[in-house]
Structure 1
Amino acid sequence: MDQPSDAPGTDRRALAAAALTVVLWASAFVSIRSSAAHYGPGALALGRLLTASLALGCVLLVKRVPLPSRKAWPGILASGVLWFGLYMVALNWGEQKVDAGTAAMIVNIGPIIIALLSGWLLKEGFPPMLLAGMGVSFAGAAVVGLSTSTGGAASVTGVLLCLVAALTYGAGVVSQKPALSHASPLQVTTYGCFVGTAVTLPFAGQLLTDLPRAPLNATLNMVYLGLFPTALAFTTWTYALSRTTAGKMGATTYAVPAAVVLIAWAVLDEVPGWLTLLGGAICLAGVAVSRRRPAARPARHAPPGHEEPPIHTGS
């Protein structure tokens, strides 16, 4: 199932879907703060994925969507295990061991991994503007991370877990891209979510223990995480990914730190410092640079007296 990727209208739809994804993923960080204190890392991941799986499963039944083709399953399985499963557990666990600023700086190597893997494995190449923009955005993410870091000693275990999260995120995205040539974004997202839920089922006992003890607000935030940053945002992500390169989509996620700062400011009344605002602005500038197309080369003109011979097309 070939998806157009260069038509202007399609690109606008992809950008709109990517923007919605960025906003919803940024909101996830606010909800995770409220629920992570009452749910273990694995329990929170499983609860979130169960909620998303139920919602997406209902959509499949209502729309009578068939199973994906056999060629799509390797990518669906890989992204389900790596991104939906391991990434969510590793990130939840890692953020309990290190402060949010340190975690953000480490996890933000994920888009760089996406660019490297997609350039190599998916033959997307290494566009100079994309690499330059990612470098600028990573610098901005580092500024945001430094400005929000508590300055305490980082746990080696926490750093390693955040690194695992970055690696599984990058590999999961690159695994999704080929699957979208053989299945719809809804199919890739839904069945990937099912696989991730199966991977996190060993934490079912932890979830059943935490559920009756957690306050209602924490549980509602976990449900929100499943419905919006997972079910909806991962679907809009795959929709956009099917219409552009994995490298560009990875670079777009550098807008998340800036969106997190704004949402925390509006919802939690956490007034950001000037350094945090500067970092967010740098992130957005890098995303803009990464999506720029290189300037077209000027047409070559033959010197006077050296006209090109006419091209005969036949009749």
Structure 2
Amino acid sequence: MNRHLSSPRFLASAATVVLWASAFPAIRVGVDGLGLAALSFLRLAVAAVALLVIAPLAGVRLPRGRDLPLISLCGLSGMTAYQILLNWGEIHVEAGTASLLIAVAPVFSVLLAGVFLSEPLTRNVVVGSVIALAGTALVTLAEGFSGFSLASLVVLAAAVVQGVYHVASKPLLRHYSGLEVATYAMLTGTVFALPLLPTTVGAVADAPAGALWAAVFLGLLPSALGFVVWGYAVARLPMAASTAALYLVPPVALLVSFVWLGETPHPVELLGGAVSVAGVVLINRHRAAASGSDTHATETVPVAGSTAARPSA
């Protein structure tokens, strides 16, 4: 048992959980010192450069011209819009709370897949979606109706655009690896974020060192390295194992946020997060049964970046 847990594939899966969970408090540090626009652009740009350096070593191919519209949609939704919305939300929502809200992204993935990819909406999918959204309602209303804010809706909007990314990336994953799709999307997302460059230049000049390091950390580790190690893990683990690992992202994010930022979650938030994860588990039980052990399926199910439908940050 210990030998299996110390194997490279399980270590890669564990590293992914820690990297993506640590992104939520890092965003809070970065957005406080750099502002919304600069943090969004810097994270994308740093990750894009890192993936470009890795691309030749990893055998990343040039995309086909006919796939550029879908790649553009992936970049705009899963990278540019997702970063801006999540960073905007975390200006007012605690990092741990944001991780609980983002955890419902797979719900939007399966619902959108049912509409645009004609994937069946079974009873498990419908019931799991209702349970997960009910948990999300608990999280947003943890402080009572007076605690409900536009920021919570903005973070939920980030989960929705992540769902769009997952659905748009699924056809691409029939022809490209997860790392290739992530690289294409990160590059196009950075291009779409170029209007933020002038603001970024001004913000960097006055930003504290901690915020700059947070941006570099986010770009290199949760974004770039997170894609690489997650791709390694899902190629070597059964879908059930890789999916189960990603359910640990919200609780690990809550722990890291407590240690790093001193954030203490409301008990109702914890209950709502547990309910949301239970709903996502129910959805993914159906998807695991339908997909079997197909490698590409593991890349499109369970949680964002990487190409999986995961609770990424």
TM-score grouping bracket, smaller chain normalisation: 0.7 to 0.9
Question: Does the C-alpha gap of structure 1 residues 14 and 252 become closer, same or farther in structure 2, counting only changes over 3 Å?
Answer: same
User: Which amino acid in the other structure matches residue 170 of structure 1?
Assistant: G
Partner of 1:132: 127
Question: Does the C-alpha gap of structure 1 residues 16 and 185 become closer, same or farther in structure 2, counting only changes over 3 Å?
Answer: farther
Matched pairs, number: 280
How far residue 34 of structure 1 moved from its aligned partner, in angstroms, is 0.6
Deviation string for 1:44-89 (max 9, x for gaps)?
1110011101111111133343213345433322101111112211
Q: Secondary structure at the match of 1:144?
A: helix
Q: What's the C-alpha RMSD, in Å, of the aligned pairs?
A: 3.9
Partner of 1:5: none
User: Which amino acid in the other structure matches residue 113 of structure 2?
Assistant: S
Q: Secondary structure at the match of 1:133?
A: helix
Determine the C-alpha separation between the residues in 1 that align with 2:27 and 2:105.
19
| Structure (1 or 2) with the greater helix fraction | 2
Structure 2 residue runs without a partner (length 5+): 1-7, 290-313
Partner of 1:287: 280
Determine the C-alpha separation between the residues in 2 that align with 1:179 and 1:243.
20
Determine the C-alpha separation between the residues in 2 that align with 1:290 and 1:159.
23
Q: Does the 8 Å CA contact 1:107/1:166 hold for their aligned counterparts?
A: yes
Question: Does the C-alpha gap of structure 1 residues 102 and 266 become closer, same or farther in structure 2, counting only changes over 3 Å?
Answer: closer
Deviation string for 1:100-138 (max 9, x for gaps)?
688678766643321111123223211322333333333
User: Which amino acid in the other structure matches residue 52 of structure 2?
Assistant: G
Q: Secondary structure at the match of 2:33?
A: coil
Partner of 2:166: 173
Determine the C-alpha separation between the residues in 1 that align with 2:247 and 2:192.
28
Partner of 1:87: 82
Determine the C-alpha separation between the residues in 2 that align with 1:288 and 1:250.
9
Determine the C-alpha separation between the residues in 2 that align with 1:125 and 1:242.
25
Q: Which one of the candidate residues 185, 200, 205 is aligned to 1:212?
A: 205
How far residue 181 of structure 1 moved from its aligned partner, in angstroms, is 0.6
Q: Does the 8 Å CA contact 1:258/1:284 hold for their aligned counterparts?
A: no
TM-score (norm 1): 0.72
How far residue 189 of structure 1 moved from its aligned partner, in angstroms, is 0.6
Q: Which moved more, 1:36-45 or 1:272-281?
A: 272-281
Partner of 2:295: none
Q: Does the 8 Å CA contact 1:118/1:124 hold for their aligned counterparts?
A: yes
Determine the C-alpha separation between the residues in 2 that align with 1:102 and 1:274.
11
Deviation string for 1:125-154 (max 9, x for gaps)?
113223333333333333333336894573
Q: Secondary structure at the match of 2:205?
A: coil
2:95 equivalent to 1:73: no
- What percent identity do the matched residue pairs reach? 37
How far residue 280 of structure 1 moved from its aligned partner, in angstroms, is 3.4
2:24 equivalent to 1:29: yes
Determine the C-alpha separation between the residues in 1 that align with 2:135 and 2:251.
9
User: Which amino acid in the other structure matches residue 141 of structure 1?
Assistant: T
TM-score (norm 2): 0.72
Determine the C-alpha separation between the residues in 1 that align with 2:22 and 2:264.
16
Q: Secondary structure at the match of 1:82?
A: helix
Question: Does the C-alpha gap of structure 1 residues 114 and 291 become closer, same or farther in structure 2, counting only changes over 3 Å?
Answer: closer
Q: Secondary structure at the match of 1:42?
A: helix
2:266 equivalent to 1:278: no
Question: Does the C-alpha gap of structure 1 residues 65 and 107 become closer, same or farther in structure 2, counting only changes over 3 Å?
Answer: closer
Question: Does the C-alpha gap of structure 1 residues 243 and 131 become closer, same or farther in structure 2, counting only changes over 3 Å?
Answer: farther
Q: Secondary structure at the match of 2:285?
A: coil
Give matches, 1:142-153, under 5 Å.
Answer: 142-147=137-142, 151-152=146-147
Give matches, 1:1-315, under 5 Å.
Answer: 21-96=16-91, 110-147=105-142, 151-152=146-147, 154-155=149-150, 158=151, 161-162=154-155, 164-235=157-228, 256-293=249-286
Question: Does the C-alpha gap of structure 1 residues 266 and 131 become closer, same or farther in structure 2, counting only changes over 3 Å?
Answer: farther
Q: Secondary structure at the match of 1:125?
A: coil
Question: Does the C-alpha gap of structure 1 residues 250 and 73 become closer, same or farther in structure 2, counting only changes over 3 Å?
Answer: farther
How far residue 281 of structure 1 moved from its aligned partner, in angstroms, is 3.0
User: Which amino acid in the other structure matches residue 121 of structure 2?
Assistant: F
